[in-house]
A and B are shown apart, each in its own frame.
Chain A
Amino acid sequence: MTRAQVSLTARLSFLFAASMALALFICAMLFARAVEGQFRRHDLEELDGKMQVVRETLADAASYQAIAMLQPQLHYTVTAGHPHSAITIVGSDGAVLLTMGQPRVVEHLLSGAEDGKTGLLTWSSENRTYRIVSDRVALGVPGSRPAKVAISFDITNDQDFIANFTRMVWIAIGVGTLLTGLIGWIAVRKGLAPLHNVSTLLANVSTSQLDKPIPTASVPRDLQGLIFAFNRMLARLNDSFKRLSEFSSDIAHELRTPINNMMLQTQVALSRKRDAEEYCTNLQSNLEELRRLSRMIEDMLFLANADNHLLAPRKETINLHSEVAKLVEFFEIAASERRVSLIQRGEAPTIYGDRLMIQRALSNLLSNALRFTSEGLAIEVDVQQDEEFVSVSVMNPGPEISSEHLPKIFDRLYRVDASRREGETVNVGLGLAITKSIMEMHGGTVTAESGNGRTRFTVRFPRKVPAMIDVVKADGIQAAFPISPSIAGATAP
């Protein structure tokens, strides 16, 4: 079980149990109050009833003597239903007319401790609890003033009942909470099982399975959105990973041929005694080959760094017209050898960019154009602007690039005619990829069109200051996708 899932389960069960406990507690409190209230009401009713009977009885008693003789009758009234009752009747002058009941209670009633208080009173003494009601009652004795009557009965049993009841309720709450906690925990665990399954599935995805998406059939609906997004991400990773693998093997192939050539040349040269001149020639030829390799390696490193956003283009104001002019002046020298002319036209406002990179991007286009233009023709370089972009286009008359190749020419190591490699000085197929990389870093684009015996490459720079990609640390990739080391490791350099 994963850590995250445990805490989720625990959270849910805990919250569930806590809510149950709270609910049970509130209900219990309400119920207890209701029960207590009920008892009080009942007691009051009873006492009032008894008081009424006493009132009527006393009203009938015509003399103090008669009152004293009422004892058995009052005894019956007061103790009906309440064996441990007490009653005291005290005349207005303070003379005790009648008392009945437990001495302790009677003493308390006579003490006047409850004088002045109205309503149902409760008194406890020596582990017993009593309800008391007192009132002034008119006597039947003519000319007498109202006497104070107090009646009480023992409610200790009732109170014990309530206490037991309350205790039971607390125990019930405790047990209920534990029970719901346990049941809840089991239920939540079972409920979250699909999540656990999905995590297991995700954890098992490794670079060898990037092309197998997670099946969404067994996944609960709520999580399907997540799985879809995950599968899309897998597809993208798979794509990048494949391209990376292909690129790596392509690079190895590219390096193989020149290295083999050098080995062959050197071996042949060493196979027999030769004069210094021959060795010199051999060494020079190897040197050229090595230079070529070195350039290729630099280009590839450039592309790798660009991919991983490890290159920070410097931002200067660039006048494209003058940059192009410098390039044209340079390439003209080689162009004129084949009677190819370079024509420059157009003006444009300044842009922001890295001068060296832009020079490189444009020079790739120009040297390509030069390579493919036949004798006596002209290459046209136009600097233009529109609302959004400032563009430089290089147009050369020459063999067309067919529409099937056109979208792929900016791919690395892609060559239209694969067999042309040997004849050219450096025709590794990285030039256009580098141009594309540079344009992307500047927030721009490079496009190609070919037809009617002409081919045109156009680079576009955005006029508004582009958000140029800043240097980002390589492990920024891992931070964004913290899935598992096996996947993140595939894309890190």
Chain B
Amino acid sequence: MKILIIEDELKTEKYLQRGLAEAGFLTDGARNGRDGLHLALTESYDLVVLDVMLPEVDGWKLLQELRRTQKQLPVLLLTARDQVVDRVKGLELGADDYMMKPFDFAELLARVRALLRRGKNALTVDRLQAADLELNLVSRRVTRGGRRITLTAKEFALLEFIMRRQGEVLPRTLIASQVWDMNFDSDTNVIEVAMRRLRAKIDDDFEVKLIRTIRGMGYVLEAPQ
């Protein structure tokens, strides 16, 4: 997966590239609109991260130009301004997602992954599996190592979510919004508690810990290699 980052601010561009590279993506960076557009049109990318506030070139025009020739390319907009008009304008001009600075890198990563996953056939599965943990979506049963584990409805939803996104580090805000439909940045520790309780049921009695906390980033469910 190759990602193009068009961002004029030096540190932002550098750390974005590094972060995405470390997350397993190939990255290219452009510090101005002209180079960015040129790269986007001549090379093939799976996703473009575009800062709308570019010097010299109007970010919106760039977006339009990009959309004209590359209809399928997902574009994630970054901006330091947040006004309703900007958001609506961005989506109307063809951006797929929109993030305001300062942003949480974990959140950006999650959204990048979500954008990349779009268009791929959403596999409808009956079961999700990680190591010896099995989640049966039809019968709503969870077992680990053959042993049945009882979860509440919300705990089940939570487990399903992190299992579907196995291997991805999921920030708290994303979990809150996807599992509980809570779309504000909460200062309470609800997700922490919820994950702790889930772990208590899923991991505590087992040697291999599937759910890990990446401090500062989020949680990940992963079968160790």
Which residues of A approach B to under 8 Å, CB–CB? 280, 283-284, 287-288, 290-291, 294-295, 297-298, 301, 305, 310-312, 326-327, 329-331, 333-334, 337, 356, 359-360, 363, 367, 370, 424-426, 471
Contacts and interface: CB of A to CB of B under 8 A. Distances in A.
A282 to B, nearest CB: 11
Interface stretch (B45-53, B65-73, B189-197, B199-207): B189-197
B184 A334 contact: no
B82 interface: yes
A281 to B, nearest CB: 9
Given A305-B82, A329-B154, A359 B183 contact: yes
Contact of A359 (B83, B104, B184, B189): B184
Contact of A311 (B84, B104, B176, B190): B84
A287 B197 CA distance: 25
Closest 6 CB pairs of A and B: A426-B187, A287-B216, A360-B184, A334-B190, A284-B215, A284-B216
Nearest to A314: B84
18 contacts: A284-B216, A288-B216, A295-B185, A295-B187, A305-B82, A310-B84, A327-B182, A329-B180, A330-B176, A330-B182, A331-B190, A333-B190, A333-B194, A334-B190, A360-B184, A367-B187, A425-B188, A471-B84
B44 interface: no
A298 B83 CA distance: 12
Sorting the interface of chain B by its residue count into under 10, 10 to 19, 20 to 34 or 35 or more gives 20 to 34
- Which secondary structure characterizes the binding site on chain B? loop
A305 B216 CA distance: 29
Interface string B168-191: 000000001000111111111110
B216 A298 contact: no
A311 B194 CA distance: 33
B63 to A, nearest CB: 22
A288 B185 CA distance: 13
Nearest to A362: B184
Given A326-B180, A326-B181, A305 B189 contact: no
Contact of B182 (A294, A301, A326, A337): A326
B103 to A, nearest CB: 8
Nearest to A308: B83
Contacts of A283: 216
Given A326-B180, A327-B182, A329-B180, A367 B84 contact: no
Contact of B188 (A290, A310, A359, A370): A370
B188 A331 contact: yes
Contacts of A305: 82-83
B146 interface: no
Contacts of B154: 329
Given A287-B216, A294-B102, A333-B194, A471 B186 contact: no
B104 A330 contact: no
Contacts of B102: 290, 294, 297
B100 to A, nearest CB: 8
A311 B86 CA distance: 11
Interface string B80-102: 00111100000000000000101
A367 B183 contact: no
Given A288-B216, A311-B84, A334 B188 contact: yes
